[in-house]
Amino acid sequence: MADLNPRQREAVRYLDGPLLVLAGAGSGKTSVITRKIAHLIEYAGYPGRHIAAVTFTNKAAREMKERVGKLVDRRAARGLTVATFHNLGLTILREEHDAVGYHPGFSIFDAEDARALLRDLLAEHAADTGLEIGDLQATISSWKNAMLLPDQALSRANDAREERFAVIYQHYADYLKAYNALDFDDLILLPVLLFRNHEEVLQKWQRRIRYLLVDEYQDTNLSQYELVRMLVGHRQGLTVVGDDDQSIYAWRGARPENLAQLKEDFPSLKIVKLEQNYRSMRRILSTANTVIANNPHVFDKALWSELGVGDPIRVLRCRNEEGEAERIASEILDQRLRSRSEYRDFAVLYRGNHQSKLLEIKLQAYQVPYKISGGTSFFARNEIKDAMAYLRLLTNPDDDVAFLRVVNVPRREIGPRTLEQLTGYARQRSMSLTRSLDEVGAESHIQGRALDKLLRFTHFLHDVRHRLENEDDTLGVIRRMFTDVEYEEWLHQNASSAKQAQKRMENVWYLLDSIEQMEPTEDDGDTEQTLEEAVSRLVLRDILDRQEEEDDSDRVQLMTLHASKGLEFPNVFIMGLEEELLPHRSSIESETIEEERRLMYVGITRAQRCLTLTYAGQRKQYGEVIEPIPSRFLDEMPDEHVEREGSSDRDPEANQRRGRATLSALMDDLS
């Protein structure tokens, strides 16, 4: 334990009662948990089979188990449980299925399975009420996390909407039982109910799990807290590790107050604070401490570091959202050159996935490789793939992959058998699907009605191509094409909500606008870029992106602030520091700013060496240009650690300094 600091050693060695390790960001909490498991086995005499360590992700569980494996003899650790909450619940339910009224081999419904069942029930029981499937699924999940059964949810319903949801919840539970199936939330709820109703089963599991360790405790919901409390029982062999300042999942039921509740349920609770940070420079930590100090605290702590002062935090005001995206792209190139960093050393964080859209286009324009984490790449979204397939067919009718993607999008009642017949004939004739339809021989391989449907589709595309050749408004023709095929109506039919369908259609329009705005490359000359050139460039990007997905080496990381938790990067950008964006408008309206501030704290503490914050002076919103108010979190930062660049995209003096530094770095590389 020589490599542990005094507080870490204290946490590892303490066995006299329940323990809360209040672990700040970058304070080495994983080392504490793994070392404590080793200490329990090697020095306290706990057999591995009587120890359980619980966390929230499979990745964290695997890492924990690997580290323990390097510290403890395999035989001594035999039977050790290192799992997620839901895996632990599943283990309990598999063994106790009779007691909860399920047959062996029960199924587990994922989110899509559950959504499909709920969609049918919504259509059957509340078809004309305007209720949305997403709201229904989220509400039922929150009820389960709060351990409310259908009858309890119905009795506590506040309005007609919740009453309808509770009625569907009852039908949903009945169907799951009939299918011998559970959903994700049941994996925690049912073990808790089992332990409440069967004391002998609870005692059995308390005898089996004699010491329990829980990671990321601030992210537990009510049912998870109850599961922990019941398993620990009177033995009080418990160590939990958490940080109330990093509780950012209230939207999925997390309760940071569970940390405070520990003091009431376990009066002898000991608290050890891990405040030494091994990740970030002192300016970054001081800024994080100052911002989060604006939240009320049950437990006070202040992170510190021995890694040095570091550079000032930069706050950049950009002209508009396009200027913001372009500035970030150029800054990454600039900083990478000056510091001789890799692309993987940079991360751009944002409040919502929609913010990545413009940033992706700018990064591509600057030829900066990137990876989307915690969200879907703009070019990987289904609606963008559909739109690209249509564009590829317009420029190259022989593109079979594009043809097969959209021949039934929107649905044209062309079945798989018909497409199989068409493919077989085209292969026989060694030609593309579209060309094979022009041959007389196609009639002998494809039934009349099916052939008519295929021909209507190809003739429609032919007419669009004809209009493109004879009309000046290229983008107008393409827009009419998507309107004529009723693509937006199809999105509404297949989306979970009208809002989601609208967003997807907006993405398609955004793609078309970006094509119009694409600048010709040097190879294209000064001439106006044709649709064929624009599409070919976008297709190439798509191909390269797919290749890069297979080679996850040196790329800038793009992710939401939520997705960044637990990660660290030498250079971090946080964009969109504006009121109603960060903090989010919903948090302002619901007066839950504390969680948004914790989210900001998480973002700041991802940075190791360099932190840059950006916001836009103007932003388009609902078709209008507004002037957003800079985020309150910027005002909360200490002036002595912050360098603010004023009203223009670049402060002249700062620009000159940066230019000289970049030139110097370039000259060094050339020498």
Reported as type and span, the H/E element at residue 265 is helix 257-265
Q: At what angle do helices 222-232 and 133-145 cross, to 10 degrees?
A: 20
Q: Which of 218, 220, 246, 605 is catalytic?
A: 246
469 among known catalytic residues? no
| Neighbouring C-beta atoms of residue 151, cutoff 10 Å | 11
Q: Which of 115, 225, 169, 85 is nearest to 496 (CA)?
A: 115
**CA distance linking residue 234 with residue 265, whole number of Å:** 11
238: tokens are: 């418990």
- Choosing from 255, 283, 362, 606, the catalytic residue is 606
Tokens representing 365?
């324009």
Active site residue 30: yes
Quote the strand ranges of 12-106, DSSP E.
19-23, 51-55, 81-84
Q: Pairing mode, if any, of strands 607-621 and 624-626?
A: antiparallel
As a three-state string, the secondary structure of 520-546 is CCHHHCCCCCCHHHHHHHHHHHHHHHH
Q: Is 521 left (phi over 0), alpha (psi -120 to 50) or beta?
A: beta
According to DSSP, the residues that pair with 347 across neighbouring strands are 557, 572
Is residue 601 helix, strand or coil?
helix
Whether residue 34 lies in the annotated active site: no
Q: Which of 183, 185, 216, 488 is catalytic?
A: 216
The residues, any chain, with a CB within 8 Å of residue 377's CB and separated by 6 or more, are: 356, 360, 545
Q: Which residues contact 428 (CB under 8 A, 6 or more apart)?
A: none
Question: Per-residue DSSP letters for 418-467?
Answer: HHHHHHHHHHHHTS-HHHHHTSGGGGGTS-HHHHHHHHHHHHHHHHHHHH
Of 410, 415, 404, nearest to 490 by C-alpha is 410
* Gap between the Cα atoms of 342 and 506, Å rounded: 34
Question: Residues 9, 10, 13, 30: which is the catalytic one?
Answer: 30
Residue 219 tokens read as 């992210």
Does the annotation count 362 as an active-site position? no
550 catalytic residue (yes or no): no
- How far is it, in rounded angstroms, from Cα 281 to Cα 313? 11
Give the tokens for residue 47. 């057999």
The string over 532-567, giving b where at least 16 C-beta atoms fall within 10 Å of a residue's C-beta and e elsewhere, is ebbbebbbeebeebeeeeeeeeebbbbbbbbbbbee
H/E run at residue 608: strand 607-621
**Chain centre distance of CA 106:** 29
- What is the greatest pairwise CA distance in the chain? 87
Q: In sequence order, which residues have a C-beta less than 8 Å from that of residue 488 and are 6 or more positions away?
A: 482, 501, 505
215 is catalytic: yes
Q: Which of 7, 29, 351, 405 is catalytic?
A: 29
Among 354, 320, 317, smallest CA distance to 620 is for: 320
Q: How far apart are the first and last CA of the chain?
A: 47
Annotated active-site positions, please? 29-30, 215-216, 246, 606
